[in-house]
Amino acid sequence: MFRFSLAALLGLVSFAALGCAALANATDLWRESMVTLMLGLLLTATLAAIIWRGERRALATGFAVFGWVYVLLVMIPAVNVRDDLLTEEALTWLYEFAHGADEQGGSVLQTVVFTDGAAGGEMIVSGSGRIRSWNAMKGGAPAVSFQSFADIGHSLWAIVIACLGAVVASLLSSGQRRRVARAAGG
């Protein structure tokens, strides 16, 4: 079946560490980096699916198809199914777990930042049925916005789902080759 090399295991651990670091520090730079990484991997897999032959083509095709379908589901507003996906619920739960909820137990997921020139700093307003505000210069505000966190999380999910697609395509491709070999031999 599948055999994992030490390099593949190291790659998996590195991917998990990068994902955890990005989610823990979900800044705009991390969001942009992770979305760019995800799009770069999907574009590379698409090109590889065109160029490669045999089982490698199946791997690249599965990676590209599963990854692009997931991206279409979560990143294109016209599709409008993001809120219905289990991955969105998982990211919401993870965000609330990592960054807490407000005093009444409601989540603090909607954050708006605006600059108040008179106060000399940014005001951060956050609400979940009730509005709270903090002066960003004095601290106390949630440091990680849910939108950046969700975009990073969905980029990571796209890569994971693309890897599962590569495995499925490889299994289907190897099964098809075995059937063809048996039919030719028997």
Of residues 106 and 54, more confidence is placed in 54
% residues pLDDT > 70 (the chain) = 71
User: 47 vs 9, which has greater pLDDT?
Assistant: 47
Sorted by sequence, the CB contacts under 8 Å of residue 56 that are 6+ apart come out as 48
Q: Check pLDDT > 50 for residue 41.
A: yes
Tell me which residue of 23, 146, 46 sits closest to 96, measured CA to CA: 146
- Does the pLDDT value for residue 134 go beyond 50? no
Q: Which has the higher per-residue pLDDT, 57 or 177? A: 57
Of the ranges 13-17, 39-43, 71-75, 106-110, which one carries the lowest mean pLDDT score?
Answer: 106-110
Q: Which two three-digit tokens encode residue 26?
A: 């979900």
pLDDT of residue 163: 94
Mean pLDDT, the chain, integer: 79
pLDDT of residue 38 exceeding 70, the answer is yes
Check residues 20 and 1 and name the one with the higher pLDDT.
20
Rounded Cα–Cα distance for residues 109 and 145 (Å): 7
**Confidence (pLDDT) at 153:** 95
* DSSP letter string, 144-181: S-HHHHHHHHHHHHHHHHHHHHHHHHHHHHHHHHHHHH
